[in-house]
Amino acid sequence: MGSNASLCSVKKVVAATCMLLLTACGESEPQTVGTPPDMRRLTTEQYYNIIHDIFGSHIQVAGRFDPLVRTQGLFAVGARSAPITPAGFEEYYNVARAVARQVVTKGNREVLLRCAPVVMDGADETCARQFFTEVGRFLYRRALTSSEIDTAVLAANEVAVTMKDFYKGIEFSLTGLLVSPSFLFIIDSTEPLASEEAGAQLTAYAKASRLSFLLWNTSPDDMLLIAAETGELNTNEGLQLQVERMIASPLLERGISAFFQDFLDLDKFETLEKDTIIYPAYSIATAESAKEQLLRTIIYHVVEQDSPYPELFTTRKTFIDHSLGRIYKLPVNRPDGGWQFYEFPENDPRTGILTQMAFLSLYSHPGRSSATLRGKAVRELVLCQKVPEPPGDVDFSLFNDPDAPNRTARDRLSAHSTVPSCAGCHKLTDPIGLGFEEFDGIGQFRTSERDVDIDPAGELDGVAYEDAKALAQTIRDHPAAPACVANQLYAYGTGRGATYDEREFMVYLQKQFADSGYSLVDLLRDITTSSAFYAVRLPQEESSEFSSASVGSSSNQERGS
Amino acid sequence: MSFFIPRKTTRREVLRGLMGGGVVTVALPFLDCFLNSNGNALASGAPLPVRFGTWYWGMGHTPKKAVVEKTQTGPGIEFLDETAALIPHREKLSYFGNFNMPLDGNSNYTHFSGWVANRTGSAPESQGSIPATTLDLLVADTIGKGSRFQKLDVTAVGIARENYSARGTYNRGAAETDPVALFNRIYGPAFADPNKADFKPDPSIILRKSVLSSFTEQTRDFVSTLGAADKRRLDEYFTSIREVENQLAIQLRKPEPNEACVIPPKPAELSPDQVASAREMDSVIETHKIMSKILAMAVACNQTKIFNMVFTDNFANVRRTGETYTHHLLTHEEILDPDVGYQPLSFWFNQRSMEGMATYIEILSSIGEGDGTLLDNCLIFASSETNYARLHTIDGVPVYLIGGAGGRFKTGTYVAGGGDPITRVGLTAMKAMGVPISKWGSKSLETSKPISEVLI
């Protein structure tokens, strides 16, 4: 990775310049009124990133926090409604204790506390105050109030005196900071508008958080906090400088990777299970490699190459390691077992990320493929289209004819199309999924099922295709694909679906995306430098979100066939 | 004086830890003197606690293969092939058949509406939405105070999200999936063995509690800046803090000696192969057994009064090695065997589920408590999300109430629902647990009629 870094830098500068010119030439952003401020619970990955970014990656964080509910296709939107349950707080508390304990161990304390206490067996208010002022600013993503610092210092002093140990005081009080809602929730703090008009705006600190969690999936760093504190972030130039700095950072890969993990629901890997009698090539290690392959492919394509987003569905360029070599029947030559770049030949059936093991195995059953699950995933994840829930009154006896065993998926699913209550949904999903039938339940290529040749032809929204390769091209060319990722990236960054008030802005954003040649990095730039991204209004009137709500529907692994 | 020569001890001696003077460090035998002379109360005079649990399995029953349907409520449950494992336990439970689940025009969201309506008394309006608090938490609000954990949620299928205890769509915590993690959470350093005489609370606990309180007070300052929904979430946060403060407070108190409490052996770490096959049915059975023992002893040791176990999830993502279909898929796509009239492989899974329930009953009733068993002082609401999974039917979803609820619940009874709303069963369970409500459920599921035939 990184071979085209200089080219990318040039493109970024050009893109930023173009953006300024467009604005100057009147391609102005439609006005939006924003939504009421809210607060989002940190995701597990954000929690881990923050701890590692502040205290170092050697600090072990071992906790499993309450799961978020996938809402409107994103956990990031579910985070907006996530509470902290008693068991969840217990976990946060235990993890906080473990983190704080590590921070003050010998070897760490000398590095992580930038002052040494005058006395080790008691309180040192000055040093404690310095520590909590510095660390608290990163944890709370803003400067602590004097009252908050006093609370932390007084608590630390009490413990230090009682236990005759300065560092115990730091440890106990740091635990308190780590379970504070100011840390566990990303809070949209607001302030009155600077102008004479009535209304509110996000504080510069809250802007910094919104920016940082979208681009890097972590807390703002020192420079971003300084930009907030100096007011630089409230100016267009200052905001653009910070955006360019953050886009140029290697941490951008982490931010984009986090988005795609949410967008493509890769959390499903945590509970992926296959029958190793049926699929001997499958193992947990292979599944982990499949996930990494997908993310490496995406980062290479959209960040390093800055290639058009829709071509993710047709790219033949990817990375493989030894365990994936078994799935793809490819020799992997790296002696260290690491990753190597690979480009599938033009005549290979694999093209694009949907023909990789990750997608094909996630949307299959433990012992066989599933055209329905794959088609549903394409509709819902890639095209942002809602597939209705299956009806509760299907008479499955229609599919249970013992005299006519269905040997292929196409045979089995054709039965659904004869039943009106099933056909409506299965017509939306199966013709897509059948295109992937030449890949089994873990993504291995095959040409037959139960000794019958597989027919991978189908159609997507009126466009017929012959096989997975042609299907990939159809998805690439589908107008809903880029619109979907743009909408979801915006929702991911704001923690909510776009509102009715924002419909013109979303059209504008999608046009910007198209005009950039579907550069995802440019899309991020457009979002993070827009006014809409930071707009808030006082919560007198609720605005309805125009994305259809679909709470938690994708958390269920297996429905239908 | 030898520590090895037993002599008759008085309760006062044991409780004071005066054997031989100073701190006693030898293990104490489990003494009846910890209970009152009637065996139904603790030595302090406090009654034995009554606890509430739930047990869940996916995919319901096979029609005409589980329990003989009756039209009259009365003693005697006739178990069939699928539930044969429950025959030895027929006097430890009551069965509720033919209760209906009207959804008031809402769709039957497959494998979801059934458990939600059964446990919340309200029909969900969309897949994934949970309209009200589940009954275990309503019971917890009444009896859950005073123990270390408000509740413990455990699942044997390795999916933390598969937890059917919630206070709404978003307030649904994770279930424990790993036996070692469950063991460590309960019996780790914060566990105080009630039968050890040398109780010495960690002095740092007072400081931890003090620090936590300081930060809590600090946090209250900015609540006024939030909108209504976020204020509610902050309220939930403060409630959660109180739970941890409660845990810390409990660690400062010497637990009452408890004959029934014996720390179970620590389970072995799961191997990568076991993790990779968490939903293979044999693995589920084994994991369930291990975790049930840990959980049951946590209840016996008064670590919690509310305990929830998921044997298999509502989509029954469990499988049998070498079989391409999961249990769920089998219920829909397995061909009805014309010779026997049912789906044999689906039936096989259902049988295993009932054996799992029997194992659970055996574990809870193997722990002696007072003059009976732990199960006698528990009530367990065991249910599924469908009646006949093949057709997604939810009327007639099977429910078993297991245990004596401390003498408040009558077992060994077949309760004929006659098409009444299934919420009558949940209301009955809550009444047995002393929940102060006169009615439960919404719209057509609302009921104010507990089933008096099984309440004592």
Query: Is residue B374 one of the residues assigned to a domain?
Result: yes
Chain B nearest-CA residue for A77: B170
Number of domains comprising chain B? 2
Do B224 and B178 have their domain in common?
Answer: no
Query: Is residue B11 one of the residues assigned to a domain?
Result: no
Distance from CA of A58 to the nearest CA of B (A): 22
Query: Is residue B326 one of the residues assigned to a domain?
Result: yes
> Do residues B138 and B430 touch, judged by C-beta distance below 8 A?
yes
> Do residues B414 and B387 touch, judged by C-beta distance below 8 A?
no
Amino acid A481: pLDDT: 98
Which is more confident, A545 or A173? A173
Distance from CA of B84 to the nearest CA of A (A): 27
Of A38, A84, A147, the CB nearest to B227: A38
Question: B239 to chain A: which residues are within 8 Å by CB?
Answer: 86
- Radius of gyration from C-alpha coordinates of chain A: 26
Which backbone phi and psi does A314 adopt, to 5 degrees?
Answer: -130, -5
Contact B321 A67 (CB under 8 A): no
Question: B306 to chain A: which residues are within 8 Å by CB?
Answer: none
Do B249 and B175 have their domain in common?
Answer: no
Of B109, B317, B322, the CB nearest to A557: B317
Do B175 and B216 have their domain in common?
Answer: no
Contact B211 A38 (CB under 8 A): no
Of B208, B240, B321, the CB nearest to A88: B240
Of B76, B59, B55, B77, nearest to B67 by C-alpha is B77
Contact B247 A172 (CB under 8 A): no
Contact A396 B315 (CB under 8 A): no
Query: Is residue B359 one of the residues assigned to a domain?
Result: yes
Query: Is residue B380 one of the residues assigned to a domain?
Result: yes
- Could you tell me the pLDDT band of residue A403, with boundaries at 50, 70 and 90? low
pLDDT at A217 over 50: yes
Do B329 and B439 have their domain in common?
Answer: yes
The CATH number of residue B118's host domain is: 3.40.720
Distance from CA of A23 to the nearest CA of B (A): 35
Do B341 and B419 have their domain in common?
Answer: yes
Chain A nearest-CA residue for B324: A367
Distance from CA of B323 to the nearest CA of A (A): 7
* Residue-range definition of the domain harbouring residue B358: 38-188+274-454
pLDDT at A5 over 80: no
Question: B210 to chain A: which residues are within 8 Å by CB?
Answer: 155, 158
Do B236 and B285 have their domain in common?
Answer: no
Do B215 and B184 have their domain in common?
Answer: no
pLDDT tens profile A348-369 = 999 999 999 999 999 999 999 9
Do B77 and B145 have their domain in common?
Answer: yes
Q: pTM for this structure?
A: 0.88
In three-state secondary structure terms, A441 is coil
Query: Distance (Å, rounded) from C-alpha B97 to C-alpha B414?
Result: 8
In three-state secondary structure terms, B53 is strand
Chain A interface, best mutation among B106, B161, B391, by max A CB count within 10 A: B161
Question: A414 to chain B: which residues are within 8 Å by CB?
Answer: none
Amino acid B42: pLDDT: 59
- A214 CB burial (10 A radius; 0-12, 13-18, 19+): buried
**CB-defined contacts A:B, below 8 A:** 232
Which is more confident, A389 or B43? A389
pLDDT tens profile B236-260 = 999 999 989 988 998 888 898 888 9
Q: With the C-alpha atoms ordered A184, A188, A194, A199, is the resulting torsion angle positive or negative?
A: negative
Do B182 and B83 have their domain in common?
Answer: yes
Amino acid A215: pLDDT: 98
Provide the ipTM.
0.86
What is the DSSP track for A242-308? HHHHHHHSTHHHHHHHHHHHHHTTGGGGGG----TTT-TT--HHHHHHHHHHHHHHHIIIIIIS---
Per-block mean pLDDT, blocks of 10 residues, chain B (456 long):
32 34 31 47 72 98 97 97 98 98 94 97 96 98 92 95 95 94 95 89 90 86 74 90 90 88 94 87 96 98 97 94 89 89 96 98 96 96 96 95 98 98 98 97 98 97
CB atoms < 10 A from the CB of B273, how many? 11
Do B350 and B324 have their domain in common?
Answer: yes
Chain A interface, best mutation among B141, B180, B237, B315, by max A CB count within 10 A: B237
Q: Which residues contact B82 (CB under 8 A, 6 or more apart)?
A: B61, B62, B65, B66, B347, B350, B351, B354
Distance from CA of A234 to the nearest CA of B (A): 22
Do B132 and B218 have their domain in common?
Answer: no
Do B210 and B147 have their domain in common?
Answer: no
Query: Is residue B142 one of the residues assigned to a domain?
Result: yes
Distance from CA of A364 to the nearest CA of B (A): 11
- Could you tell me the pLDDT band of residue A390, with boundaries at 50, 70 and 90? confident
Query: Is residue B4 one of the residues assigned to a domain?
Result: no
- B381 CB burial (10 A radius; 0-12, 13-18, 19+): buried
In three-state secondary structure terms, B386 is coil
Strand B93-97 vs strand B413-416: parallel, antiparallel, or unpaired?
A: parallel
Strand B306-310 vs strand B152-155: parallel, antiparallel, or unpaired?
A: parallel
Q: With the C-alpha atoms ordered B283, B288, B293, B295, is the resulting torsion angle positive or negative?
A: positive
- Could you tell me the pLDDT band of residue A548, with boundaries at 50, 70 and 90? very low
> Do residues B53 and B378 touch, judged by C-beta distance below 8 A?
yes
> Could you tell me what percent of chain A has a pLDDT over 70?
86
Question: B275 to chain A: which residues are within 8 Å by CB?
Answer: 284
Mean pLDDT for chain A overall = 88
Which of the 8 DSSP states describes residue B82? G
Query: Is residue B12 one of the residues assigned to a domain?
Result: no
Of B55, B65, B62, B162, nearest to B389 by C-alpha is B62
Contact A148 B109 (CB under 8 A): no
Question: A267 to chain B: which residues are within 8 Å by CB?
Answer: none
Which backbone phi and psi does B152 adopt, to 5 degrees?
Answer: -125, 130
Of A86, A148, A284, the CB nearest to B218: A148
- The tokens describing A260, both together, are 């795609």
